[in-house]
Each structure stands twice: as C-alpha cells, then as structure tokens.
Amino acid sequence: MSKVNGRSETEAQRAGLDLEHELPASGDETENETNLAASTESAAPESELQKLRAERDSLLDRLARMQAEFENVRRRNAKEQQDFRDYAAADAIKPLLPVLDSFDRALQVKSEPADFRNGVDLIYKQLLSALAKLSVQPIMAKGEIFDPHYHEAIEMVETSDAPDHQVIEELQRGYKFKDRLLRPAMVKVAKNPGR
C-alpha cells in the first residue's frame, strides 16, 4: 500500500482525502461520486446485458435464415437432379421413336417374307444409327481374341480351325456406352490343343 501524507490509501479514503491532490474531499463531492459510481455500475451491466441479448437475437435470427436458405438450396438441388434424370431419359428415348414407327408400318403391311426381311434389316440399321447417336456402340466379337473386359465366355470349343482364345461364335452381342461397358458379348471361344 502506498502512503499519502503518512496515511495508507484506505485510511485516506475513509478520511475523505482526494488521493491525487492530497486534499480532503468535500462531503458532498464524495457522496456525489459514490452515487454516480453506483448508478454507472448498475447502468453499465444492464446496458451491456441488453446489447448482448440483442447481439444473441441477431445471431440466432441469422442462423435460422441460413438454415432455411440451406434447406431451400438442398430441395432445389434435389429437384433439379430429378428433373435432369427425367429429361435425360426422355432425350435418350426420343431418337428411338422413329424406329417404333417403322416397326408399326412394317407389321401393318402384308408382304412376301423376303420383303419383310429387307424391311426388318432397314429398321435394324435405323435402330443402330439411333443408338450410335446416343454413343452406344456394339462390341465386335467374332474373329477377335477373347478379351475378358468385353467378352463373356459361355463355352470353350476344342478346334484346330481357329487360333487359341479366338472368339468363334457370338451368341449375344455386347454393347458399350462411350467407354463404359453396358453388357458383355456372350461368346464361344476356341481352344486349340495343338498350339
């Protein structure tokens, strides 16, 4: 404790001394300062509390708005994805409709078997063309070397007419979409015991 005029700070305060100027404070000034300090102390926490409550309410309001906005964005995104899937399927189906029309016309016409066969061949080519526009390509199999990435071996046939592991017959055609396999080709593969 520091000493003021030979007294400690607490003794000087009790005696009403002005510590800075070492003069005795008047009774009225001491009373006014005490009242002012008390009212400032009680007003300060009250106004600070109100300020903190207002800030809290503002932050909670912002949080609620952000959560609502996030939920709206999530819903809108889910709807856009569903719409994309629906319309992507529609875009894939549209080029196939002329093929169905051709089948309808072919089935309504009464013609010779050879003419019917030619009509079906034309429709088949039309369908392959529509699929090619959608980036669907058939997998070449017959005469190719067996590739487990694109071919599914159904049977191994012992023969000396074809090299070992060559596809000798295609039982079901395989297809790929761009570079992705849609369905492997089901094939018979040569097994040449002499090689």
Q: Which two tokens stand for residue 157?
A: 């046939």
Residue 176, pLDDT > 80, answer: yes
pLDDT > 60? residue 155? yes
Strands 151-158 vs 185-191: parallel, antiparallel or unpaired: parallel
Nearest residue to 185 (alpha-carbon basis) of 129, 146, 132, 134: 146
When mean pLDDT is compared across 31-35, 136-140, 163-167, the lowest value belongs to 31-35
Token digits of residue 92: 């894939």
Spatial contact of 187 and 169, defined as CB atoms under 8 Å apart: yes
Both tokens of residue 63? 């949080």
pLDDT value, residue 38: 52
Q: Which pLDDT score, from 0 to 100, does residue 13 have?
A: 54
Q: What is the distance between the alpha carbons of residues 105 and 95, in angstroms, rounded to a whole number? A: 17
Asked if residue 1 has pLDDT above 50, the reply is no
The tokens describing 193, both together, are: 């015991």
pLDDT over 50 (residue 4): no
pLDDT at 19: 46
- What pLDDT does 23 receive? 47
Rounded to whole angstroms, how far apart are CA atoms 25 and 31?
Answer: 10
> Amino acid letter at 129?
S
Other C-beta atoms closer than 10 Å to the C-beta of 92 total: 14
Residue with more model confidence, 119 or 27: 119
Above pLDDT 90, what percent of the chain? 35
The span from the CA of 123 to the CA of 104, in Å, is 11
Sole residue written with tokens 């007003």: 43
At residue 100, the pLDDT reads 82
Question: For position 77, what pLDDT does the model report?
Answer: 95
**Cβ neighbours for 161, distance < 8 A, ≥ 6 positions apart:** 168, 190
Please determine, for residue 189, whether its predicted confidence score (pLDDT) is greater than 90: yes
* Residues 127-149, mean pLDDT to the nearest whole number: 90
Tokens 């080519």 belong to: 125
Q: Are the beta carbons of 18 and 25 closer than 8 angstroms?
A: yes
Task: Name the DSSP letter for residue 144.
Answer: S
Q: How far apart are CA 169 and CA 142, in angstroms?
A: 6
